[in-house]
Amino acid sequence: MSKVYKKVALIGLGLIASSMAKAMKRDGLASEIIGFAKSEETRAIALELEFVDRVESSAAEAVRDADLVVLCVPVGAMSAVAKEIGPVLKAGATLTDVGSVKRSIIELVSPHITEDIHFIPGHPLAGTENSGPRSGFADLFKNRWCILTPLANTDAAALDGLKNLWEGMGANVEEMDPDHHDLVLAVTSHAPHLIAYTMVGVADDLSRVTDNEVVNYSAAGFRDFTRIAASDPTMWRDVFLNNKEATLEILGRFTEELFDLQRAIRRGDGQQLFDYFSRTRAIRRGIIEAGQDTDVPNFGRGDGDGA
């Protein structure tokens, strides 16, 4: 894959940014990668691991003259960062993000950028329960989906360039309307995370089950809940606060289904339970057939793979 951008600025240097940098360096997709993080410790680690060429002590300095700027900060920090970098972004530069919600980010970022900046919101559906600059690895995006939500006036050439970058890093790219993205992710990610947090919290609160029993006798299902619930709390707080409507809609549907299953268990309606579980089992087979997981006892996750 040939070079896509000369200078790339990564604002925020956690799992996604460090993985992007490693993938870009491995495949020669950028000439220079500049990083910025609020934490001096994080900036030092990025230099130590050499996944960036240099770091700056401010976001504004990091984005100066950059051809591509990637916002890899929590949703709650998007507005402040956009306000800082907006006045110094190079005319014609592409600005994107990796946030898990899209409509809210568009509303937070758009007021701070000028018309000569190509703002193309994005969301790579890749990650692990680990966070921070030491967590990244170049294959994180391999055969994962990256959803881009271009705006009505998005420049076609800028969109093609960003697509080429994500495909060069191994991702499959899909375009989607921002509001539809937020509904889809409420189903596939946001509500499941909230349910996982809740189930782990229930186990923690249940005084009749000791901490040792929860840890020692965790069956595969509960282990998966704890893996999901180990995700970065700042990121997920911001996701739920910024995708309220879609998440609440899906949680309402979930509650209705749960009550229906409760009634089936209470009535001893084995046929309803069997039919329901058979239908949902087919969804799992579809995920495996799509190459998004593998049918092995460890749930398809090796040391670096994740939700």
Give the pLDDT confidence of 216-264 residue by residue, as tens digits: 655 667 777 777 777 778 888 888 888 888 888 889 988 999 999 999 9
Phi, psi of 303 (to 5 degrees): -65, -30
> Is there a contact between 37 and 63 (Cβ–Cβ < 8 Å)?
no
Does position 68 have pLDDT exceeding 60, yes or no? Answer: yes
How does residue 131 score in pLDDT terms, banded at 50, 70 and 90?
Answer: confident
> Is there a contact between 140 and 127 (Cβ–Cβ < 8 Å)?
yes
Count of Cβ atoms closer than 10 Å to residue 284 Cβ: 11
Q: Which residue has the higher pLDDT, 156 or 194?
A: 156
pTM over 0.85: no
How does residue 197 score in pLDDT terms, banded at 50, 70 and 90?
Answer: confident
Q: What pLDDT, on the 0 to 100 scale, is given for residue 264? A: 92
Does position 301 have pLDDT exceeding 80, yes or no? Answer: no
Q: What pLDDT, on the 0 to 100 scale, is given for residue 306? A: 38
Mean residue pLDDT across the chain: 87
Residue-range domain boundaries for the chain: 5-176, 180-267
Q: Which residue has the higher pLDDT, 290 or 304?
A: 290
CATH fold match for the domains 5-176 and 180-267: no
CATH number among 3.40.50.2300, 3.30.540.10, 3.40.50.720, 2.170.150.20, domain 5-176 = 3.40.50.720
User: Taking the chain, what is the end-to-end CA distance rounded to the nearest angstrom?
Assistant: 27
> Who's near 81: CB < 8 A, 6+ residues apart?
11, 59, 71, 73
58-85 mean pLDDT = 96
277-294 mean pLDDT = 76
Cα separation, 249 vs 187, whole angstroms: 9
> Who's near 216: CB < 8 A, 6+ residues apart?
none
Among 76, 7, 73, 70, smallest CA distance to 39 is for 73
Does position 139 have pLDDT exceeding 60, yes or no? Answer: yes
Q: What pLDDT, on the 0 to 100 scale, is given for residue 156? A: 96
Mean pLDDT lowest among 38-42, 103-107, 138-142, 208-212: 208-212
Q: What pLDDT, on the 0 to 100 scale, is given for residue 19? A: 96
Three-state secondary structure readout of the chain: CCCCEEEEEEECCCHHHHHHHHHHHHHCCEEEEEEECCCHHHHHHHHHHCCCCEECCCHHHHHCCCCEEEECCCHHHHHHHHHHHHHHCCCCCEEEECCCCCHHHHHHHHHHCCCCCEECCEEECCCCCCCCHHHCCCCCCCCCEEEECCCCCCCHHHHHHHHHHHHHCCCEEEECCHHHHHHHHHHHHHHHHHHHHHHHHHHHHCCCCCHHHHHHCCCHHHHHHHHHHCCCHHHHHHHHHHCHHHHHHHHHHHHHHHHHHHHHHHHCCHHHHHHHHHHHHHHHHHHHHCCCCCCCCCCCCCCCCCC
Cα separation, 21 vs 72, whole angstroms: 12
CATH number among 3.90.660.10, 3.90.220.20, 1.10.3660.10, 2.60.40.10, domain 180-267 = 1.10.3660.10
260: exposed, middle or buried (C-beta count within 10 Å: 0-12, 13-18, 19+)? exposed
Does position 291 have pLDDT exceeding 60, yes or no? Answer: yes
Does position 284 have pLDDT exceeding 90, yes or no? Answer: no
Q: What pLDDT, on the 0 to 100 scale, is given for residue 218? A: 59
Q: Which residue has the higher pLDDT, 105 or 296?
A: 105
Q: What pLDDT, on the 0 to 100 scale, is given for residue 280? A: 82
Q: Which residue has the higher pLDDT, 39 or 129?
A: 39
Cα separation, 60 vs 130, whole angstroms: 28
Does position 75 have pLDDT exceeding 50, yes or no? Answer: yes
**Token couple for 125:** 């559906």
